[in-house]
Amino acid sequence: MPDPRQMRVLKYIPEKLYGFAGDAVGQVFFHLGVFDPKGGWMRHPQCENCPRGGCPWSKTPPPPVPGELVLITLEDGSVPCPVEGQHAPRAVRAERVHAPVATRGTVETFDAQRGYGFILGDDRKNYYLHRCEVTENKIPLPGQRVMFYAGTREDRPRACHVRICLDQTA
């Protein structure tokens, strides 16, 4: 089996359970089935006092986060596809380099018609929020507390896998 190469997650589509990773050479396709979250199941200390029973955040690692570093192993002889939109080779293994850390913040704005807004993270950064990243098909409202994974897309901070907190002091 060839040596893994370090790449960044470019895109992940939760509904379809697949995504793309890339580097300066090109991009590759990966299915969630080959993704090793490294570290197994984790617990998020922010969730310990959550009033929501059975919250999946307290028991599962997040899906791939755009911008995170992963080690990608390709099929023997495969090379990344240099042109976006062409058939990218399939990864046989994808492994996290570092486990992502949950971040908290407050929804600053959200336009339900356009489906996007911004979160002010507790780290004082502004994160772009798109409706496709909000779990449980809920619409975030300005002022609501949220938990999310800090990702990047096109070198801009992006909130990924966003959960609206029931406990607004979280």
- The helix/strand/coil state of 55 is coil
Express each pLDDT in 10-24 by its tens digit: 999 888 889 999 998
- The helix/strand/coil state of 56 is helix
Given 96, 111, 129, the domain boundary residue is 96
Determine the structural domain holding residue 129 and report its residue range. 102-164
Query: Could you give the number of structural domains in the chain?
Result: 2
Express each pLDDT in 75-110 by its tens digit: 877 777 776 656 788 999 999 988 787 889 999 999
Dihedral angle computed from the Cα positions of residues 104, 110, 115 and 121, in that order, rounded to the nearest 10 degrees: -20
Closest CA to 160 of 42, 67, 28: 67
pLDDT over 60 at 49, yes or no: no
Highest mean predicted confidence (pLDDT) among 40-54, 73-87, 115-129? 115-129
35 and 80 in a single domain? The answer is yes
In-domain check, residue 109: yes
In-domain check, residue 43: yes
Closest CA to 13 of 38, 37, 30: 30
Given 96, 116, 147, the domain boundary residue is 96
**Which CATH number is 14's domain given?**
2.40.50.140
Mean residue pLDDT of the chain comes to 83
In-domain check, residue 170: no
16 and 73 in a single domain? The answer is yes
